[in-house]
Structure 1
């Protein structure tokens, strides 16, 4: 499988739990040969779009070596793969660096989405 930047400017609108609307996406930064990326792809990848989290923050993949998309503002350099960056209205809200398993991923992502939802509401 060849990894290429798959970033494009499609407005991804999500209705937060409290009714506020924001453009939200989860950018997965990956690279060919990353065993942790492969593990995420096997354990989470097939079900992610079917989950409430996947509907709230659709997944967009990006190769770590690709130029950063001009319509996304990352808080700092992307160094590790996989890195999962929650983007709200094109700006990094939070990130998970690494993938040590399903429980860690779902728990951290849930907290990230909850914090982002609270920010949108305020």
Structure 2
């Protein structure tokens, strides 16, 4: 009787549908339902506060678990007119961090506000946008 358990287990595994193993992780399914969110940081090459943002905020954000679900990317301010993003208003201050879903602005943080204020603000924007 003890030899039947491994045989039954092997038969069940062999009979399992192969598509089950290829199912998308829950986070991918949620992303497809809710739309792809990202943080777009608008900057210019001659901006001291943009460099400060990259030095003090970016490493902490990239090390956080939320960067997997809401990645960050940088866009030069001169490239905003390419039609790939829909903004609610012009960007007049750099750096400006814009929370986007499928290329549409959900909210923004204008200017360099420091690490703690950035995380407080971006977490608030993410919470009200879900």
Tell me if TM exceeds 0.5. yes
In 1, the alpha carbon distance for the partners of 2:39 and 2:124 equals 13
TM-score, normalised to structure 2, is 0.70
2:96–2:110 Cα contact (<8 Å) kept? yes
Two-structure CA RMSD over aligned residues (Å): 2.1
Q: Which residue, out of 93, 113, 117, partners 2:106? A: 93
CA distances 1:53-90 after superposition (whole Å, capped 9, x unpaired): 32232111111122433232111111110000100122
In 2, the alpha carbon distance for the partners of 1:81 and 1:15 equals 31
Tell me whether 1:107 sits opposite 2:117 in the alignment.
no
User: Would the alpha carbon gap of residues 29 and 75 (structure 1) be closer, same or farther in structure 2, given more than 3 Å must change?
Assistant: same
TM-score, normalised to structure 1, is 0.74
Higher strand share: 1
1:14–1:24 Cα contact (<8 Å) kept? no
Higher helix share: 2
**Tell me, which stretches of 5 or more residues in structure 2 are unaligned?**
1-27
**Tell me, which stretches of 5 or more residues in structure 1 are unaligned?**
1-12, 118-122
CA distances 1:15-55 after superposition (whole Å, capped 9, x unpaired): 47xx9532111100001121111111111222322213322
Structure with more relative contact order (C-alpha pairs < 8 Å, separation 6 or more): 1
Q: Matched residue pairs, number?
A: 103
Tell me whether 1:79 sits opposite 2:92 in the alignment.
yes
Give the 3-state SS of the residue equivalent to 1:46 in structure 2.
Answer: helix
In 2, the alpha carbon distance for the partners of 1:71 and 1:14 equals 24
